Amino acid sequence: MARMSDHTLVLVDGSSYLYRAYHALPDLRAPDGLPTGAVHGMVGMMRWLRDRYPSGHAACVFDAKGKTFRDDWYPQYKATRAPMPDDLARQIEPIHEVVRLLGQGKTTPEIAVLLGLSERTVEFHRAGARRALGITTEWGLVRFAIMARLGNPGPAAPRSPPVAGPS
């Protein structure tokens, strides 16, 4: 764990995190079919960051939807970027809510309850994601996160068919 002070500000590029979470995990879904992989991944990454870099202040910032000042400065900004996948777009609002709850110091079980998920469902998705990615240890999880950040996640499984959670 890094030594931080009450004067430290941790800034998170929320948009980068949500895309990383979405593409790093298999196609996890709630029992009703709602995609949940990006939400699960965001929770894991934000908890990891909070545990390793405790600070007095933190902010998670997301890109604004639609045109921004960058488009005026550089007309080709994001010109070749594919549109956001529908399954990711459906997770934006829950991700914003999870980040808000994490900012209030809520734990994963507390967040699950507030979002209407059972602890069993949360554990099912956590275990399923690790199995699908071939991650068996905490070091394996850290290695995967580092390699994914470098654009080379290694032997991780490709996105798999939807996974139904426990009822």
What structural domains and CATH numbers belong to the chain? 9-64+85-149 (3.40.50)
Tens-digit pLDDT profile for residues 68-108: 888 888 888 778 888 899 999 999 988 888 888 877 777 76
Percent with pLDDT over 70 in the chain: 66
CB 88 within 8 A of CB 29: no
Q: What is the mean predicted confidence (pLDDT) over 19-44?
A: 87
pLDDT at 86: 95
Separate counts of helices (H) and strands (E) for the chain = 8, 2
Is 80 exceeded by the pLDDT of residue 114? no
Tens-digit pLDDT profile for residues 119-128: 676 666 666 6
CA–CA gap between residue 20 and residue 45 (Å, rounded): 10
Q: What is the CA radius of gyration of the chain?
A: 17
- The mean pLDDT of the chain is 75
pLDDT at 4: 58
pLDDT at 57: 82
CB 154 within 8 A of CB 18: no
Q: What is the mean predicted confidence (pLDDT) over 127-144?
A: 66
Judge if pTM exceeds 0.85. no
- Of the pLDDT bands very low, low, confident and very high (cuts 50, 70, 90), residue 156 is very low
Q: What is the mean predicted confidence (pLDDT) over 24-33?
A: 85
